[in-house]
Structure 1
Amino acid sequence: MIVDDHTMVRAAIGHLIGGVEDIEVVSEADSGERALEKLRGGGTDVILCDIHMPGMGGFETLKRAHQSRPDLGLIALTAEADISLAREVLESGVHAYVTKDAEPEELLTAIRKAAGGKRFISSRIAQEIALHNGRADEDPFEVLSGREQQVLRMILEGKNNTMISDALCVSPKTISTYRARIHEKLGVNTDIDLLRLAVKAGRTVLTA
């Protein structure tokens, strides 16, 4: 279910999802009140809801939806990359927090993960959380182990899994595991996101 008080936003999201085989838009609502009414009819697995709407508001809508349907996948959609709001929303039981400037594939990933009860944060807000998680002068990369730091350095140098595995004398599969672990710890989805985070944190290929 798409919940947004702007018709054009609902239409744009519906158009995006319309071309995807494993996701179907079953209903729309222009307010939180209307969304909760429609949820009573069943047939909805995931609700994608704008946080800032007149009336009840999206955050309250998602919290009430969670109370009535704990099995429901919940996604907060917002124009703001607000770290405090993102944390509050995710702590309330919402599965995903997606900014409206996210890439279409991120939104689709969020829907799939929420449907499976998993968490997802769009790359923009994930990077901000990683950079501000703790003291302002902390290095977000300090959460990585020594070996993960080695793999990170080589990723930032543009090396692929085979090149890294040869350098460290381990299998490419092991490097894939390290890469996935690095992404998870830093809250990023791709190596491009990882590079952006490194640049924001003042990391370079020479200092990684």
Structure 2
Amino acid sequence: MINVVLVDDHELVRTGFRMILQQQSDIHVAGEAGTAEEGLRLIRTLTPDIALVDVHMPGMSGIELTERVCRSKLSTHIVIVTVVDDARFPKRLLDAGALGYLTKGCSADELVSAVRQVAGGRRYLAPAVAQQLALATLDGSASPFDTLSSRELEVAMMLVRGKPLTMIGEQLNLSPKTVSTYKQRLMEKLHVDHVLSLAHLMTVHGLIDTPNHHVGN
């Protein structure tokens, strides 16, 4: 039996996924969460085979959740499900440790197939995404965020949500000085000089839906 948890802030999306997956005799939906924080707790408690994770959620993002699951060496495989189908973004997510990538426009059959494939330890890429990744590799185009380390990306995601360095430090178990160093380094790599520019760049590349209006310098 493949145990799955659903992590998405839209109840309608979770309901749809649950209805599709529970029709399969070999798949069991063990739990649901509306936030990544809640999802992380569920994953640690239930240790499911698969977590279907939305990218854009209030609070912690799907990227951060993926990073933390991988860093904690949990056995759960992450399948990212999102509306974003830009090849630059999936590559960053797969680098973060996700084994699967689906768009919300996928069919019920594709969803089930992806869950089974990733449960077997194999990577699954939606066909459209695989094609885009191949084309991106051929023409050499890449997201500037590919140059960031996992930790730098995590700090960047928190900065654009207006979190102060002290709070970021507490959440990541780092000193504010270390967080400040990460901030300086990631801004140099991305060639931006303040958090507002960082938020704009993240929006352009699909890492956040819209810039946070509370963003400061």
Taking structure 2 as the reference length, the TM-score comes to 0.60
Q: 1:58 aligns with which of 54, 58, 62?
A: 62
Q: Note the C-alpha offset of 1:52.
A: 0.9
1:116 to 100, 112, 120: 120
The match for 2:31 is 27
Name the aligned partner's letter for residue 113 of structure 1: Q
Q: Does 1:47 align with 2:51?
A: yes
Task: Using the TM superposition, give the Cα deviation of residue 70 of structure 1 relative to its aligned residue in structure 2, in angstroms.
Answer: 3.7
CA deviations over 1:77-134 (Å, ceiling 9, x no partner): 1101111111111112210010010121111121112212210101121122223322
SS in 2 for 1:27: strand
Residues of 2 paired with 1:133 and 1:105: CA distance? 28
Shift of 1:43: 4.3
Q: How many residues align?
A: 136
Taking the aligned partners of 1:114 and 1:54, their CA distance within structure 2 comes to 26
Q: How far has the Cα of 1:36 moved from its partner?
A: 1.1
Deviation at 1:69, TM superposition (A): 3.8
Per-residue CA deviation, residues 3-28 of structure 1 (Å, 9 max, x unaligned), is 00000000000000011111110000
The separation in 1 between residues aligned to 2:63 and 2:35, in whole angstroms, is 12
* Counterpart residue identity of residue 127, structure 2: S
Task: Judge conservation of contact 1:26–1:43 (CA < 8 Å) in 2.
Answer: no
Quick one: which amino acid aligns to residue 106 of structure 1? E
The residue matched to 1:90 in structure 2 has which SS?
Answer: helix
Residue identity in the other structure for 1:133:
T
Q: Which runs of 4+ in 1 moved over 4 A?
A: none
Q: Which residue of 1 aligns with 2:82?
A: 78
Give the equivalent residue in structure 2 for 1:128: 132
Q: Which runs of 5+ in 2 are unaligned?
A: 141-217
Gaps of 5+ in 1: 137-208
CA distance in 2, matches of 1:73, 1:83: 21
Query: Contact 1:29 / 1:35 at 8 angstroms: preserved in 2?
Result: yes
Aligned to 1:38: 42
Q: Which amino acid aligns with 2:53?
A: C
Q: Report deviation, 1:60.
A: 0.6
CA RMSD of superposed structures (Å): 1.4
Corresponding residue for residue 8 of structure 1: 12
For the Cα contact (< 8 Å) 2:47–2:76, is it kept in 1?
no
Percent identity of paired positions between Structure 1 and Structure 2: 33
SS in 2 for 1:2: strand
The 5 Å alignment of 1:84-99 reads 84-99=88-103
> How far, CA to CA, are the matches of 1:83 and 1:10 in structure 2?
24
